[in-house]
Structure 1
């Protein structure tokens, strides 16, 4: 394997910091409907990607099979509803609770592969899932004691985790045959169209928002999208999926710290306890379900 042009571990660290900004940015756009925030995040990302995709990789669209179009379209629809549910959850619950619960996505993904693809679980995976779910119950119970609306936000966050899981299950098959940028462009494009239709149905206004909110839309399209998820996808060429997953597990910590310093959100005792248990369970889960592979890193990075 050739030497990476940039230390992939540093790329993962940058990616974790970048995705940690997402929830805080959404909170800063308070007053703008969640579906509108999601709409502009993806639409601006598509607009940024368009020149490169059409000038460098447009020929690949001719060879996309109908099955892959269908899978990518379904993935895009569920990605749109993931953002609607997750962003809406932030209107009711804290950044700490919302991000921790959305991070349960790997567990829902393995449950999906168990029911649909009959994939077996190890005993360690089952124990770690129980630990993580116990932590989520502690968070939800603590939020319920504070406010019923906070519990409603937790439920929305869990639904957001489920919808992003379905997004991955639809997309993983097509992604094996499509290049990163064309696949991402199609999925984000479908998500944008889905969100436009949704906003038209619920009659959310597309304009009339404060100028600073438009900067937030752009920041969401650039920071967590390109400096976050795109860097993760790039790093996968040199690092294992387990390594990337372990990095993403730290997103709730980064998001909670940013929420504390930027929004003044304090973390309650139940959020500390439940969040720690969830992250510990996720750590064990990733370790017990990962398949190790060799990683080639240049000596200058060691």
Structure 2
């Protein structure tokens, strides 16, 4: 295979995940954050069902430690992350919400320190502080639009923390289990927990939410299921195994806001403000400093 192919694959992943922020807004016009999350992972679990069946024998011999890691990965990536990210996306402009989530590498370093005692260098601490300042800048802009916009900043931060936790846990899992085993289990377990939330909160409207979807909203949901939850993760696993970690992170995360900004302008007619650009630049600079260390 061409040596440039994995790099191109990671850029495709970045474009898909960047587009997710804008496509998610379209889906949220008809679906609540819980409905979008529940149906997204219900369909994704169906797509990964063959992989789950194929992995049954291996999963039967899981250690207690690996089983716990899979549970944490499932809850963080398929329950807490989408629920809180979509809550923020329903209010914040797509690029702002995405930029906050792209600060996940910063929290990943903190989680790695607390869980695995990975040392934080002075440069990493500087990167953490810089990225935090970027989130503050975006929060100040959100505050000018009212209390609701400022409140959902916390939703975006919780979503970011969930994705960061998944990043730390999945790194261990991918060393011990095949990629498709992890993706199948996290999707299936996440779907179960999301529908349990529907059951215990009595939000029965989630079960019938798809009946009122129009063609454009169906296409948005299908894009999220097929491309964001399935194809992008498979491509990400392919590229991650062939490109150095720092390079793969840069190719995957840094271009996302650019793709999202272009699509946000074309599809939603919303231009990115100067303060968003400044805040985003600060966040990405902090992440870059952290990764360079």
Per the normalisation by structure 1, the TM-score is 0.88
1:232 aligned to 2:232?
no
Aligned equivalent of 1:209, options 206, 209, 212? 212
Q: CA deviation at 1:14?
A: 0.9
Equivalent pair of 2:15/2:255 in contact (CA under 8 Å): no
Q: CA deviation at 1:202?
A: 2.7
CA offsets, 1:179-215, max 9 Å, x none?
1101110111111111111122333321233143333
Q: CA deviation at 1:65?
A: 2.4
DSSP-derived class of the 2:241 partner = coil
1:176 aligned to 2:175?
yes
Partner of 1:272: 277
Equivalent pair of 2:135/2:283 in contact (CA under 8 Å): yes
Aligned equivalent of 1:60, options 58, 81, 95? 58
Q: CA deviation at 1:263?
A: 1.0
CA offsets, 1:3-58, max 9 Å, x none?
5697101101111111112111210011311111111222211211223443x544
Q: CA deviation at 1:160?
A: 0.4
Aligned equivalent of 1:254, options 259, 264, 274? 259
Partner of 2:18: 20
Equivalent pair of 2:22/2:263 in contact (CA under 8 Å): yes
Distance 1:153 1:254 in 2: 23
Tell me the number of residue pairs that the alignment of Structure 1 and Structure 2 aligns. 285
CA offsets, 1:154-199, max 9 Å, x none?
2211110011222233333333211110111011111111111112
Distance 2:200 2:258 in 1: 36
1:47 aligned to 2:46?
yes
Structure 2 gap ranges (5+) = none
The change in CA–CA distance for 1:69 and 1:115 in structure 2 (over 3 A counts) is: closer
Equivalent pair of 1:18/1:227 in contact (CA under 8 Å): no
The change in CA–CA distance for 1:209 and 1:70 in structure 2 (over 3 A counts) is: farther
Distance 2:5 2:168 in 1: 29
Equivalent pair of 1:242/1:286 in contact (CA under 8 Å): yes
Distance 2:11 2:172 in 1: 27
Distance 2:167 2:180 in 1: 16
DSSP-derived class of the 2:176 partner = coil
Distance 2:48 2:64 in 1: 23
CA offsets, 1:60-119, max 9 Å, x none?
233322332222112211221110000110112111110000111111011112223322
Equivalent pair of 1:139/1:271 in contact (CA under 8 Å): yes
Q: CA deviation at 1:268?
A: 1.9
Pairing of 1:62-211 with structure 2 (within 5 A): 62-79=60-77, 80-204=79-203, 205=205, 206-207=207-208, 208-211=211-214
The change in CA–CA distance for 1:126 and 1:44 in structure 2 (over 3 A counts) is: same
Q: CA deviation at 1:228?
A: 1.9
Equivalent pair of 2:22/2:264 in contact (CA under 8 Å): yes
